[in-house]
Amino acid sequence: MSLILGIETSCDECSAAVVRYQPDSIEVLSCATFSQIALHRPYGGVVPEIASRNHLETVNPMIERALGEAGIRPDKLDAIAVTNRPGLVGALLVGVSAGKSMAYALGKPLVPVHHLEGHATSIYLHSSGRAPVLRNDLPYPMLVAIVSGGHTNLHLVPAPPELWPLDFLKRSLVGRSRDDAAGEAFDKTAKVLGFPYPGGRWIDETAAQGGNPAAFDFPRALPQKATLDFSFSGLKTAVALKAEELRKAGTLEARLPDLCASTQEAIVDALYAKISLAVRENRCQALAIVGGVAANSRLRDRLANGWKSLGLVRPPILPEMTYCTDNAAMIAGAGAFRFRQGHFLRVPETLTLNAFASPEI
Ligand code: KG4
Ligand code: ZN
């Protein structure tokens, strides 16, 4: 058993969490998150300096809340895990500095965590009081699709996290977006249609108001079978042109559900096509979808109806909703695996940890 505190400040969520690592499961004892979405909304996207300054004000209260709600005294922690890449470097530095000072003051090991390893680990977490996810019962190879505002990556995962090598993300990557991430495509098209940031949820909800997914035929990039990569950058222009045409005709408002449903269908089609291809090509036993876009109802429906035809042995694995969007529980979870493998810094090396914008290690 190990108790790990996690800290996440890579973008616009400031979060701290305590998890209990067990040989078969990871229990989230607490997860305190402050979302900065309302602060960035007037600007239509994340403003890095506003993010860093707000993390500075919020990170200590989040850590205190996480420890308080878990009922864990800091000296009882086995290690402190912190996201140190990739992300907005000024934002990352706030969490890294908080983690370093705490680990130094308490004489605890410090575990640097890659944000995407955190997302990949989110499927192994369960909140206290919920049924544990028994990770040794999950079948491999597993395809893990990380679909968020910043990333659209397909990873072929051959084994449970205890066995992930340090270059796991690089080794397991089989497909990725060549330009915008899927969440970014939702957010950019939503902005064109006049919805507030972040727009994915608004597109989803407006499409559900009787929108016809076949009303408009928006482009699906890279349809050829030879690649597992995605490209979403052309979609925004196509949607913007159609919206302008409808605006001129005075029918934009009435057609919004159709427009949202067709936009969503183009993104979900592209995701579903490459995910199915990757599952089939690699004879995957299981599929997991993580990151903010895993919340999309159309993607969930398509997977719920289609998983059997893909040859999977169980329905797709989706983390609890709180662990889909950015949070520190997944960072603490990923940190727990690395800690158990012996990959951490001890005092005084703790003070050498840096933050990096790039995902490359
Ligand atoms: O994982 P996340 O919280 O942050 C990043 O690490 O980027 O993902 C946020 C993204 C945003 O782009 C947001 O619009 C999208 O997830 N999102 C959705 C939905 N809910 C959140 N996209 C489509 N449908 C949704 N229901
Ligand atoms: Zn993320």
- Give me the tens of pLDDT residue by residue for the chain, a chain 361 residues long: 999 999 999 999 999 999 999 999 999 999 999 999 999 999 988 999 999 999 999 999 999 999 999 999 999 999 999 999 999 999 999 999 999 999 999 999 999 999 999 999 999 999 999 999 889 889 999 999 999 999 999 999 999 999 999 999 999 999 999 999 999 999 999 999 999 989 999 999 999 999 999 999 998 887 777 899 999 989 999 999 999 999 999 999 999 999 999 999 999 999 999 999 999 999 999 999 999 999 999 999 999 999 999 999 999 999 999 999 999 999 999 999 999 999 999 999 999 999 999 988 7
Q: Both 263 and 329 in a single domain?
A: no
Which one of 152, 189, 293 would you pick to mutate in the ligand 1 pocket, going by the greatest count of ligand atoms within 8 A of its CB?
293
Contact 318, 22 (CB under 8 A): no
Query: Is position 142 within any domain?
Result: no
Q: Both 206 and 301 in a single domain?
A: yes
Q: Is 216 helix (H, G, I), strand (E, B) or coil?
A: coil
Q: Both 183 and 218 in a single domain?
A: yes
Query: Is position 37 within any domain?
Result: yes
Query: Is position 14 within any domain?
Result: yes
- Would the CA dihedral through 178, 14, 89, 19 be positive or negative? negative
What CATH number is associated with residue 302?
A: 3.30.420.40
Residue-range definition of the domain harbouring residue 304: 175-310
Q: Which ligand is nearest to the CA of 37?
A: 1
Query: Is position 159 within any domain?
Result: no
Q: Both 241 and 304 in a single domain?
A: yes
Contact 152, 230 (CB under 8 A): yes
Neighbours of ion ligand 2 (CB under 5 A): 148, 326
Contact 131, 50 (CB under 8 A): no
Q: Is 230 helix (H, G, I), strand (E, B) or coil?
A: strand
Tell me how far the alpha carbon of residue 326 lies from the centroid of ligand 2, in angstroms.
5
CA of 13, closest atom in ligand 1:
3
Q: Both 197 and 277 in a single domain?
A: yes
Query: Is position 146 within any domain?
Result: no
Query: Is position 230 within any domain?
Result: yes
Q: Both 18 and 122 in a single domain?
A: yes
Q: Which residue has the tokens 């890449």?
A: 85
Tell me how far the alpha carbon of residue 210 lies from the centroid of ligand 2, in angstroms.
30
- The number of domains in the chain is 2
Q: Both 291 and 335 in a single domain?
A: no
CA angle 323/231/161 to nearest 5° reads 35
Backbone angles phi, psi at 80, to 5 degrees: -120, 130
Q: Both 184 and 304 in a single domain?
A: yes
Q: Both 220 and 279 in a single domain?
A: yes
The answer to whether the CB of 291 is under 6 A from ligand 1 is yes
Query: Is position 256 within any domain?
Result: yes
d(CA 76, CA 93): 25
| Amino acid in position 305 | N
What H or E segment, with its residue span, contains residue 83? strand 79-85
d(CA 204, CA 73): 42
CA of 295, closest atom in ligand 1:
26
What H or E segment, with its residue span, contains residue 205? helix 200-207
Closest C-alpha to 203, from 250, 156, 264: 264
Tell me how far the alpha carbon of residue 200 lies from the centroid of ligand 1, in angstroms.
6
Enumerate residues 6+ apart whose C-beta is below 8 A from 329. Answer: 6, 15, 17, 19, 28, 31, 122, 125, 322, 323
Q: Both 260 and 345 in a single domain?
A: no
Tell me how far the alpha carbon of residue 159 lies from the centroid of ligand 1, in angstroms.
27
Q: Both 239 and 120 in a single domain?
A: no
Q: Both 210 and 331 in a single domain?
A: no
Structure tokens at 167: 């270059």
The answer to whether the CB of 97 is under 6 A from ligand 1 is no
Query: Is position 158 within any domain?
Result: no
